[in-house]
Structures are given as C-alpha cells and as structure tokens.
C-alpha cells in the first residue's frame, strides 16, 4: 500500500459517509483556494513515512509507518454563532471525525492499523482561514504492511 492507495482508501470512506460533503487531498492552505467544496470537509494532508524492515529482496514483508494528519472542518459563520456555541460545533465535528476514523480503521484488517499504542491526537481550532471554519485535526501513526511494494 502506497500513498496513492491510502488517499484512495481515505476518499472512499469519505464518499460513503453521509455526514461528509467533500474530501480533499492537499495541504491545509488549499482550503482557501478550492472554494467549490461543501462542508463538512475532510482534508487529508500528504503523509510522511518511514520503513521498518526495508529489504532489497522482493516478496519480503515490510512495515511502513505513515504519519497521518487529517482535518474535519465545517463552517461557523456569524449567523451560526447566534444559535450554536463553539463547544457544540466542536462536538459535531469530533463526532464526524471519530466515526470516519472508526470506519476507516475497521476496513484495514491486516493491511493497515493504528500504531504506537493506538494513540490519536485531536486538536480543535476555530476561525481557520477565510471560510470562518471550526475543525479538528487528527494525527496518528498508521502501520501499513507492504509485500513486494517498496514505496521509497
């Protein structure tokens, strides 16, 4: 499994999740330039990786650890602020993100799984960029098994 495969898997899960309106594979500043999206949006940043057990011999299992950062973002406009508190928006965004991540991990089987004591760091933020956004960044290490698929 390489970065393209990971992106496809993340996107497929987003496409089947009725709570998610858009998926982006880009860096966070792109949220400003790609204005045609609908919210809530999942934005997956390009993951970095390291390989454990690298071998020049084919068909030997290699374990690739990807540092994954994805965001779940939704709007929190001046009109929204009149009726919806920031804590409520965080609660909504966290539910979407938690459900999305659970679905993604459930599909991993032996192909990929949470690594490093199953730690997921969630960081909330608001007034992000020009769309008056509220969001949560999810950061974790995903261990991927690669057989005959060197991605270095």
Q: How many Å apart are CA 96 and CA 68, to the nearest integer?
A: 17
pLDDT of the residue at 103: 96
What is the bridge-based pairing of β-strands 22-25 and 41-44?
Answer: parallel
Which helix H or strand E contains 93, and what residues bound it? helix 86-106
Structure tokens at 84: 């919806």
Q: How many Å apart are CA 48 and CA 64, to the nearest integer?
A: 10
Structure tokens at 11: 């996107």
pLDDT of the residue at 42: 96
pTM: 0.86
pLDDT of the residue at 60: 58
pLDDT > 50? residue 148: no
């Amino acid at each position: 499994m390489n970065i393209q495969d990971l992106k496809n898997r993340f996107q497929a899960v987003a496409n089947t999740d009725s709570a998610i309106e858009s998926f982006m594979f880009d860096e966070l500043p792109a949220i400003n330039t790609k204005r045609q999206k609908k919210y809530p949006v999942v934005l997956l940043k390009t993951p970095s990786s390291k390989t454990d057990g690298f071998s020049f011999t084919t068909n030997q299992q290699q374990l690739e650890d990807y540092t994954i950062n994805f965001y779940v973002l939704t709007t929190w406009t001046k009109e929204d602020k009149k009726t919806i508190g920031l804590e409520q928006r965080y609660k909504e965004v966290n539910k979407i993100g938690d459900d999305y991540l659970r679905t993604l991990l459930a599909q991993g089987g032996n192909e990929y799984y949470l690594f490093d004591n199953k730690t997921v760091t969630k960081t909330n933020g608001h007034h992000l960029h020009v769309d008056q956004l509220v969001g949560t960044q999810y950061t974790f290490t995903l261990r991927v098994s690669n057989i005959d698929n060197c991605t270095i």
